[in-house]
Amino acid sequence: MANFLQVMDPMEGICIAEDTTFAFQWEAQARGHVNHHCLVDELSFKEGRPVARCRSLEVHQSQGDHFRFGDTVERPLDSFECVMMRKDPPFDMRYVFATHLLSLADTFVMNRPDSLRNANEKLYALEFPEWTPPTVVTTSIADVREFLASVGGSGVLKPLDGAGGVGVLRVDETSENLNAIVEMMTAGGCRQVVVQEYLPAIRKGGDHRILLVDGISVGGVARIPPEGDLRGNLHVGATAEKMVLSDRERAICEAIGPRLREDGLWFVGIDVIGDYMTEINVTSPTGVQEINALDGVCVEALVIDMVESQCA
């Protein structure tokens, strides 16, 4: 039996049929491990070591009555065999400071805190340029216009600190609103944005979320955007459909897997549209329950297998 701590959002807001962290908690509990819960703000440093104000957690398969907390106690992070950093974005300074506290823990943390800080989900993918679409990162309207002209006139603009599809816009070089859009997204040229070539494959096969555990692909789900929306995020209306990884997608996973392991990014979700990887999601990747339902597998078992191996 091991003690696992999940640093995450409040349990009250969890949808047990969709939430990936809940799947981890359920699997760990089924194996006899004890889950514990804390919020980001409940991490601190006292008497020379990082600690968490936390409570033991029992989970149940009944939405609305899906958890029971034990008493709140203060425990050193080193007293847990594993700490799972599962706080949903935004990736703000509260999140950054939490990773610094987690870095001080002498225990297994998933994902590794320094890599959570370093692997921006839009920029980290650019370390693998052979697998990513044409991309520019800039604060300049002129740069955006030049880039759009070079890729046929249409692109997708994203904030570097966004998540869940927030702020993702398709832009066109002929739009009369282009300058205003770039000004707004860059805060008048003070904040960088990423612009990628628009990939029409989003309309044919959707946005593929592929999960990797310890650098190895374990399944994927095709997220089909709703009519009139570019985004493949399930919570904004995209639908989940079964998919089989293509040869190109397997090659992407094999190419990035060793680097993910080296960086301690034990559980990762990449986004692939057509032939190109557009993002590497490391903060709180989702998709486990959708893949389980469509493929008849149990991805969380593979994750807990890996965690048990690391703890040993």
Q: Which residues are catalytic?
A: 122, 158, 209, 223, 231, 271, 279, 281
The region that residue 287 occupies, defined by phi over 0 for left and psi between -120 and 50 for alpha, beta otherwise, is: left
Q: DSSP class of residue 91?
A: -
For residues 167 and 183, is the Cβ–Cβ distance under 8 A?
Answer: no
Contact 205, 221 (CB under 8 A): no
- Residue 108 pairs in a beta bridge with 82
Tell how strand 108-110 and strand 267-273 pair up: unpaired
Type of residue found at 263: D
End-to-end CA distance of the chain: give it in Å, rounded: 12
Tokens 């009519």 belong to residue: 227
**Alpha helix (H) residue ranges in the chain:** 20-30, 93-103, 113-118, 141-150, 178-185, 201-204, 247-262, 288-295, 299-311
Round to whole Å and give the CA distance between 13 and 67.
Answer: 11
Residue pair 269/285 in contact (Cβ under 8 Å)? The answer is yes
- 141 DSSP assignment: H
Rounded Cα distance, 78 and 74, in Å: 12
